[in-house]
Every structure is written in structure tokens, then in C-alpha cells.
């Protein structure tokens, strides 16, 4: 038997799965020589491997940090909330960009999200915005990740573990002022602190709450939450407890409510250029950082009344070219958008038609000439903007969110990581 075998099973049994590139190294051409050079294969860039990608404009991130900084003024900290892989934009890149343009704190949802930042050599303070499982405490201490705390069990175990390792146990205390998601009830804060204060390693670095309605037209619930928060902070101070960095504002409150900026503000959705609510559109100028692009993979004339895609809900009116794009609902181009949204080709909006498939979708180019419309000439390989701006035409994440009855957060997070993130 030849020394160089190319049958898959023997290769998998011999090789560690950690070196997939060896797979190509072992493919031997008919002449008995190495067929593919792994180094050359590795140089084929992400955007040539698949004609669908997400672009993230880091200048927009910098701009939006600047806008938030202007809102909160000097002497206050800004936390860049980079949970869920920076709302789908890429946590490490966004965190570094935000820290270089005026943010000093980072917020994440999980311990692993925080570890990813540390492994990218980011040294800024990182707060996990919820209380992680008790078993993760050694990771918090090892990676210098601050948890949010609101149960005595966690506080005690965290303090004891830190003591055993001979380190401090810094944390932020979460107060529930009315959203009723997580946190100590606003009128039980002093009692809680008294209960856990005997743990010498515990170090209260900050105290915060979260608003349920900062983006709503109605403001009464917001005012109630604010009043309860201020009372809780005052009660802590009166009891001789230093609350540390006091923070409450999310994007909506950063823009709408200067009174609740306190010592730090937590910038999430507006870091990425989205308006938390209608009212904020006339208050600040944000730049959306994300756009979605694809290249045409097929172009054809479909005769009149022939159907397109699963279910054939769409029938060709004739006089149209049907173009195919290699992205679908597995990429976050949600199926409910089928036939209801446009894409942009050569600066002109074109209707997406037929059901969006898992990995592909189709759109229609009208070949008739009327008005002063330029006639388009779609070709395989032409770039199409799925979300974003091209020329005077724009398809926004907000359009998609409105159509689906959801918030922009869910749309941007939904663009899957099967599409590479390209930073521009």
C-alpha cells in the first residue's frame, strides 16, 4: 500500500481534528505529487469562498461612541455593551474600537463572552450583566471578570473563593427597580448588603439598575424606576455603604434622559447606529455600522406565469429577469420577509420574490423601460446590497424589524456567522 493514502477514513484515524489543513496536504495528484498547497489555500479570502457577507464600518462605531460621549458629557464613564458578539458585529473588533474612541468599560452577557475579550488581550474592566452560575467563579477570578450579583449564595461563594485564592472579589450590585427581570428589590438593598458585608474579599465596584421603558413614549414607569433607584442609592449611602460606580442608562436613556446618566452609561443598540425609538431620531445623528451584501449567482428570463421558489407563490409577469443570491433564512434573512422586501442592484431597488430558502433567495429585475428608469443589466457576480445603502437607495434594518414586528437588536443579531464579517 502506498505511503500516501488518500482514503478519508485512514486519514481521519491518523490525524488530529485540530489540523484540518492536513486534509489538503494529504491529497495527492495522479502524478504522485502534492496536489494542493495548504498555504495557498489559506490565502483564498472569506469573501471569495462565499458570495454573501456582512460589512461592519468601524468608523460608524467610532462616530456613535462620540455621539454617546457628547450626550453624557465629561466626568462620566461609558460602557460599550458588546454582548451577543457585539450585537452580531464582532465583539473583539467592536470592543477595541469603542475603547479607542471614548468608552472605558465593557458589558457582556456571559462568562465566555468576557473570556473571549480577555483572550484578545483586552484589559478594560468587563462586567457580566447578569449573575453567572456558581461553578464559573474560578473563571471570573482568573480572567478578572466582574459579575453582577444579587443573591446572597453567589456573593458568599464568590467572596470565599476569592479569599482562598488570595485575591479581591469585585462586583456590581443589581437593583430591581421595577423591570422584575433580575436584581435585589429596591427596598431590600441595605438588608442584602448587611447580610454579605462580613466577606472581606467582596468589593462593591458599582451599583446599577435597568429600565424597562426608557424607549417608550409613556414616562410614568420610567419615573417610578428612577425614583426607586435614587432612593435605594441614598439608603445605601445613609447606611455607610459606598455604592461605587452608579449606572442605569441604556441607549434610550442616554439620548432621552440626562438626569439618569449618574457615573456611567451603558451603550448598546446605539453603539451600532440604531435609534432605540422614533423620538431619538431628531435628537442625535447615528450611523449604522452593519450592512449585508451578496453577489448574484444566477440570472435568467423566466417565462410569464412560471413560478419561482418553494410553493411558487410568485409567478413571473414575463419581462423580468430572475436573479439568485446565495443567502437565505439560515443566514438571518428571515423567511417571513419573503416577497415583502427589496434588495439594491446598481443603486436601484428590486423586489425580492418567491419564498426565501434556507441558503438562497431570488429577486426580480424589471426589464421594461418606463419613466426615467435606467434599465438594469444584471450579471452573475454583480454585488447586491441586501441591507444598507447604495447610491440613493437604502434598505434598513429598521425596515426589516418593522415588517417582522420586532426590534433592530433581533435582526442584527440574527445575521448568522456563516456570513463572514468584513471590517471596513
Ligand X SMILES: *Cc1c(COP(=O)(O)O)cnc(C)c1O
If binding is defined by CB under 6 A, does position 125 make contact with ligand X? no
Bridge partners of 342? 351
With CA atoms as reference, report the closest residue to 34 among 23, 43, 44, 42.
23
Applying CB under 6 A, the span of 7-15, 65-73, 116-124, 265-273 interacting with ligand X comes to 265-273
Binding mask 72-111 for ligand X (x = CB under 6 A): ---------x-x----------------------------
CB of 268 to ligand X, least distance (A): 2
Bridge partners of 318? none
Place of cell 456567522: 417
CB of 107 to ligand X, least distance (A): 6
Active site residue 83: yes
- Alpha carbon distance 296, 73 (integer Å): 46
Q: Which is nearer to ligand X, 213 or 309 (CB)?
A: 213
To 10 degrees, the CA torsion angle through 7, 8, 9, 14?
A: 100
Applying CB under 6 A, the span of 230-238, 268-276, 357-365, 395-403 interacting with ligand X comes to 268-276
Q: Which of 83, 96, 174, 321 is catalytic?
A: 83
- Alpha carbon distance 31, 176 (integer Å): 71
Scan residues 374-393 and list those touching ligand X (CB under 6 A).
none
Binding mask 329-368 for ligand X (x = CB under 6 A): ----------------------------------------
CA angle 245, 247, 249 (to 5 degrees): 160
Q: Which is nearer to ligand X, 193 or 214 (CB)?
A: 214
SS3 state at 5? coil
Q: Which is nearer to ligand X, 86 or 385 (CB)?
A: 86
Q: Which is nearer to ligand X, 133 or 371 (CB)?
A: 133
CB of 206 to ligand X, least distance (A): 12
Q: Which of 158, 310, 314, 370 is catalytic?
A: 310
Scan residues 206-245 and list those touching ligand X (CB under 6 A).
210
DSSP state of 293: E
Binding mask 34-73 for ligand X (x = CB under 6 A): ----------------------------------------
With CA atoms as reference, report the closest residue to 153 among 189, 196, 115.
196
- Alpha carbon distance 294, 300 (integer Å): 17
Q: Which is nearer to ligand X, 264 or 362 (CB)?
A: 264
What is the separation, in whole angstroms, between the first and last Cα of the chain? 51
Applying CB under 6 A, the span of 183-191, 266-274, 301-309, 396-404 interacting with ligand X comes to 266-274
If binding is defined by CB under 6 A, does position 266 make contact with ligand X? yes
The CA–CA distances, whole Å, from 421 to 81, 90, 233 equal: 19, 7, 42
How far, rounded to the nearest angstrom, does the alpha carbon of residue 347 sit from its chain's CA centroid? 27
CB of 217 to ligand X, least distance (A): 16
Bridge partners of 325? 361
Count other Cβ atoms within 10 Å, centred on residue 94.
Answer: 28
**Largest distance between two CA atoms of the chain:** 84
Applying CB under 6 A, the span of 184-192, 263-271, 279-287, 332-340 interacting with ligand X comes to 263-271
- Alpha carbon distance 43, 277 (integer Å): 43
With CA atoms as reference, report the closest residue to 229 among 263, 181, 187.
187
If binding is defined by CB under 6 A, does position 407 make contact with ligand X? no
Q: Which is nearer to ligand X, 64 or 355 (CB)?
A: 64
CB of 246 to ligand X, least distance (A): 14
Q: Which is nearer to ligand X, 83 or 321 (CB)?
A: 83
The only residue of 71, 129, 286, 289 in contact with ligand X, by rule CB under 6 A: 129
Please tell me whether 76 is known to bind a ligand: no
The only residue of 52, 232, 269, 395 in contact with ligand X, by rule CB under 6 A: 269
CB of 174 to ligand X, least distance (A): 8
Cell numbers linked to 58: 468601524
DSSP E strands: which ranges in 296-370?
298-301, 307-308, 314-315, 320-325, 342-345, 348-353, 361-366
The only residue of 136, 213, 250, 390 in contact with ligand X, by rule CB under 6 A: 250
Q: Which residue is nearest to ligand X (CB)?
A: 268
Question: Which contiguous run of DSSP H or E holds residue 114?
Answer: helix 111-119
Contact (CB, 8 A) for 189 and 173: yes
Please tell me whether 358 is known to bind a ligand: yes
Q: Which residues are annotated as a binding site for substrate?
A: 181, 358
Q: Which residues are annotated as a binding site?
A: 181, 358
> Site residues (CB under 6 A) for ligand X?
81, 83, 129, 210, 250-251, 266-269, 276
Instruction: Kindly list the catalytic residues.
Output: 83, 310
Amino acid at each position: 500500500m502506498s505511503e500516501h493514502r488518500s482514503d478519508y477514513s485512514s486519514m481521519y484515524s491518523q490525524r488530529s481534528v485540530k489540523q484540518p489543513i492536513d486534509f489538503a496536504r494529504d491529497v495527492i495528484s495522479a502524478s504522485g505529487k502534492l496536489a494542493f498547497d495548504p498555504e495557498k489555500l489559506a490565502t483564498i479570502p472569506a469573501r471569495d469562498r462565499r458570495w454573501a457577507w456582512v460589512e461592519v464600518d468601524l468608523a460608524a462605531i467610532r462616530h456613535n461612541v462620540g455621539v454617546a460621549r457628547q450626550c453624557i458629557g465629561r466626568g462620566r464613564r461609558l460602557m460599550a455593551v458588546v454582548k451577543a458578539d457585539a450585537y452580531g458585529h464582532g465583539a473583539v473588533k467592536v470592543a477595541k474600537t469603542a475603547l479607542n474612541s471614548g468608552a472605558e468599560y465593557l458589558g457582556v452577557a456571559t462568562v465566555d463572552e468576557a473570556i473571549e475579550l480577555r483572550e484578545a488581550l483586552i484589559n478594560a474592566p468587563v462586567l457580566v450583566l447578569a449573575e453567572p452560575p456558581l461553578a464559573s467563579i474560578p473563571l471570573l477570578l482568573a480572567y478578572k471578570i466582574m459579575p453582577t450579583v444579587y443573591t446572597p449564595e453567589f456573593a458568599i461563594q464568590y467572596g470565599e473563593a476569592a479569599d482562598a485564592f488570595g485575591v479581591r472579589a469585585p462586583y456590581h450590585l443589581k437593583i430591581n427597580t421595577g423591570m422584575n427581570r433580575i436584581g435585589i428589590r429596591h427596598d431590600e438593598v441595605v438588608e442584602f448588603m448587611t447580610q454579605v458585608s462580613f466577606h472581606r474579599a467582596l468589593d462593591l465596584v458599582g451599583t446599577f439598575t435597568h429600565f424597562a421603558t426608557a424607549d417608550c413614549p409613556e414616562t410614568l414607569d420610567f419615573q417610578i424606576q428612577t425614583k426607586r433607584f435614587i432612593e435605594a442609592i441614598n439608603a445605601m449611602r445613609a447606611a455607610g455603604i459606598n455604592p461605587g460606580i452608579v449606572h442605569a442608562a441604556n441607549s434610550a436613556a442616554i439620548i432621552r434622559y440626562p438626569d439618569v446618566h449618574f457615573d456611567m452609561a451603558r451603550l448598546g443598540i446605539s453603539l451600532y447606529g440604531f435609534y432605540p425609538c422614533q423620538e431619538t431620531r431628531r435628537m442625535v445623528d447615528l450611523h449604522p455600522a452593519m450592512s449585508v451584501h451578496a453577489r448574484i449567482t444566477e440570472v435568467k428570463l423566466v417565462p410569464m406565469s412560471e413560478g419561482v421558489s418553494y410553493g411558487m407563490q410568485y409567478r413571473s409577469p414575463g419581462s423580468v429577469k430572475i436573479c439568485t443570491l446565495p443567502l437565505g433564512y439560515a443566514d438571518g434573512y428571515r423567511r417571513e420577509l419573503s416577497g415583502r422586501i427589496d434588495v439594491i442592484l446598481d443603486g436601484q431597488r428590486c423586489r425580492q420574490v418567491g419564498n426565501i430558502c434556507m441558503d438562497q433567495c431570488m429577486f426580480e429585475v424589471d426589464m421594461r423601460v418606463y419613466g426615467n428608469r435606467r434599465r438594469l443589466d444584471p450579471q452573475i457576480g454583480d454585488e447586491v446590497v441586501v441591507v444598507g445603502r447604495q447610491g440613493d437607495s437604502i434598505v434598513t434594518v429598521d425596515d426589516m424589524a418593522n415588517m417582522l414586528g420586532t426590534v433592530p437588536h433581533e435582526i442584527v443579531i440574527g445575521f448568522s456567522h456563516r456570513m463572514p464579517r468584513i471590517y471596513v
